[in-house]
Amino acid sequence: MTAKRNALILGAAAAGAIAIWSPSGQAAGRTETLRYHVKDVSKVLTHADGTVIRRPPFPEPQAGDVLVINSLDYKGDSRHHAANWTASQTRRCAFTQSEPDCSMTVAIAGSLLSLHGNPGTVVNGTGRYEGATGRVISVKDTGAGADVVARIKLR
């Protein structure tokens, strides 16, 4: 895939883990800066004609193709992150003639968080994340995943 498409997908990928660092006892309305490392564990590219590719090498996505990526999310960054993942996510990017249309769903401690766009804005949530707002402010490709900085505000 080209560098531009990789950057767009990476931004969407990283956005999905936006709430990993929110401590369970956090006061409502508090804004936090979050840092975490996202590692992809599986990818599936479905071409517009229905052909499914589950293993690399993946060809350059074309208009009409859909890429689904599953990841595990670790507190920290690529140099210093937790040994165990604390959230999981699914990202889906539908490719068009211009920018991919990406959405993410993140499962965190019995709650869900939904994001949309590149690099990602919170659009919905359940449980602890109902009414949350936030956005990804930085995404860095580390070669072994992505380091992400985000701000989130709980209701």
**Tokens describing residue 22:** 């929110």
Please give the pLDDT value at position 93: 96
Please give the pLDDT value at position 17: 42
Judged against a pLDDT cut of 80, whether residue 153 lies above it is answered with: yes
Strands (DSSP E) contained in 2-153 are 31-46, 52-53, 66-75, 87-94, 101-108, 111-116, 121-125, 133-141, 146-153
pLDDT per position as a tens digit, 95-108: 999 999 999 888 88
Judged against a pLDDT cut of 90, whether residue 92 lies above it is answered with: yes
Please give the pLDDT value at position 103: 93
Please give the pLDDT value at position 119: 82
pLDDT per position as a tens digit, 75-88: 899 999 999 999 88
Question: Which residue's structure tokens are 């590719």?
Answer: 53
pLDDT per position as a tens digit, 8-42: 455 444 444 443 344 444 455 788 677 779 999 99
Q: CA–CA separation, 15 vs 84, rounded Å? A: 19
